[in-house]
Structure 1
């Protein structure tokens, strides 16, 4: 079955869109991914180079499935070079390809286990501060990541992740009692990463988005590599969203 046969009128309109930037807003299960698949197939049919189309989504499995479904709608050879990746893996690829441009030369990307190891070391180095609250090292990492991705301050991040969003005087008091020591540990974690020249997964998004927002050379290089960027479920990280949206002309 052709991809066109599975699309409704609005989806087909998005698939055959002639402009530069298009945002599709729709609820879960309404066919956004199917529309992305149709869009990629349509672009290849119209002569776009598959290698210059990048598909981004949250999971490797989803990225692979989208690419395979696009290929199933086209002649065998036409979409073989189509690219699908997660946001983090794509940013990592860019940093590896252009380390100096993204200011990440000689940096190593660490995984969640490495992050936890560093945070445990920090908690051990700052025993007095760590002993003042009951937050495990993994939860400290979660707070650190949550604050960066949502752009919420530490007070609100603690409220959301440790106190389940409670907003009362008792919670305010408890947060104020631990906030200074939590901040000390998080700053020490960030400093240790920089000393060791490590990048965690959140850094990947931040490094790339910062350059795409502020560096014309980064935008130009990316525009040379890609003609189309198809994003399935844009992440909530505002600066990353803006950077990606403005990267491809």
Structure 2
């Protein structure tokens, strides 16, 4: 594997050994290349591929990451590292161990249509009018509870004194109870059940925290509270987490992303090494200057200054 084409900051991130690593990767700074090169380098340094877990958010991104790593290691007869989305990884664990939570391993996963039918049934049971409180809205709030790792046993509708969120809090325990009766999970349950599994079973936590000696998480700014808990549990023995992301690119708060995960990473993982990728390979100087003017107004951000060796570029045209 050739590392000569990496810039100094990229190389530093790729060759980092043990301990927590936060890679603050500005837009167009080659973060995917850093992640895949780091995985390949770990393997070439003798780390068992089966002890490497790399997590991203889409199947497409996971597939591309696998292809890049395979290409870098072409000719090496080695097993593949674990590269997947959060949900795929959790599904894999739950198929083996969900019986610890009193579910059958043959559980089904409800799609959006199944969820809608179930929430309507639950709403009828507790006399919640669908015309006043649309079922999809209540499902969105329940999804929000799960993204924030709020279990049905923790929910208190008194904390939401009015509106759809209050009604969602009322129906959430029944919705979850009926899922269990059907030996079913919804998409968010894949995450929350895996966190429960690791928290409630010391032997399973011991097994996987020992197995995964190097954990890499892409798009860290988009993680929610439940995903963050999962990463912390898996890394609880060694702290070997490489978190890659950019707080300036966090746009998914509406679906549960918590920007505090990346902003507070150094507090939660002591002795974190922070590396900033600030050289942009994608944009012109004009674009970067304009973007810097926008993000400089953001509050609670990690300071970074993107620059490029690219040409000045055409002026930006805007319309009022």
TM-score normalised according to structure 1 size: 0.77
> Which residue of structure 2 aligns with residue 60 of structure 1?
59
Inter-partner Cα distance in structure 2 for 1:118 and 1:26:
42
Give the secondary-structure state (helix, strand or coil) at the position aligned to 1:23. Answer: strand
- Is contact 1:37–1:69 with CA below 8 Å preserved after alignment? yes
3-state SS, counterpart of residue 54 of structure 1: strand
Q: Which residue of 2 aligns with 1:146?
A: 144
Q: Could you give the per-residue CA deviations for residues 75-114 of structure 1, whole angstroms, max 9, x where no partner exists?
A: 2344552332110110110111223345543543323332
Cross-structure match for 2:265: none
Q: Is the 8 A contact 1:109 1:198 kept in 2?
A: yes
Q: Offset of 1:176 from its aligned partner?
A: 2.1
Q: CA deviation at 1:24?
A: 2.0
5+ unaligned residues in a row in structure 2: which ranges? 239-320
Q: Specify whether residues 112 and 219 from structure 1 end up closer, same or farther in structure 2 by C-alpha distance, changes over 3 A only.
A: same
Whether the 8 Å contact between 2:137 and 2:164 is mirrored in structure 1 is no
Q: Does 1:176 align with 2:162?
A: yes
3-state SS of 1:68 partner: helix
Contact 2:198 2:204 in 1 (8 A): yes
Deviation at 1:134, TM superposition (A): 4.4
Task: Work out the number of aligned pairs and report it.
Answer: 229
Does residue 217 of the first structure (1) align with residue 203 of the second (2)? yes
Structure-1 residue corresponding to 2:111 = 111
Tell me, in whole angstroms, the C-alpha distance in 1 between the residues paired with 2:219 and 2:198: 19
The residue number in structure 2 matching 1:69 is: 68
- Aligned partner of 2:129 in structure 1 is 130
> Do residues 244 (structure 1) and 215 (structure 2) align?
no
Instruction: Find the aligned partners of 1:3 and 1:116 in 2 and give their Cα distance.
Output: 51
Residue aligning to 2:186: 200
Shift of the 187–242 alpha-carbon distance from structure 1 to 2, 3 Å rule, reads: closer
Superposed CA RMSD in Å reads 3.0
Hey, what does 1:121 align to over in structure 2? 121
Change (3 A) 1:179 1:85: closer
User: Does the 8 Å contact 1:55/1:83 carry over to 2?
Assistant: yes
CA 1:216–1:123: 2 relative to 1, 3 Å: closer
CA contact (8 A) 1:95 1:104 kept: no
The answer for unaligned runs of 5 or more in structure 1 is 159-174
Q: Which residue of 1 aligns with 2:80?
A: 81
Q: Between the two structures, name the one with larger relative contact order (CA 8 Å, sep ≥ 6).
A: 2
Structure 1 residues 28 and 36 mapped into 2: Cα distance closer, same or farther (>3 Å)?
same
TM-score by length of 2: 0.62
Alpha-carbon distance between aligned partners in 2 of 1:89 and 1:121, rounded to the nearest angstrom: 29
Question: Please, which of 220, 227, 235 is the counterpart of residue 213 of structure 2?
Answer: 227
The structural deviation recorded for 1:246 is 3.7
Q: Could you tell which deviates more after superposition, 11-20 or 60-69?
A: 11-20
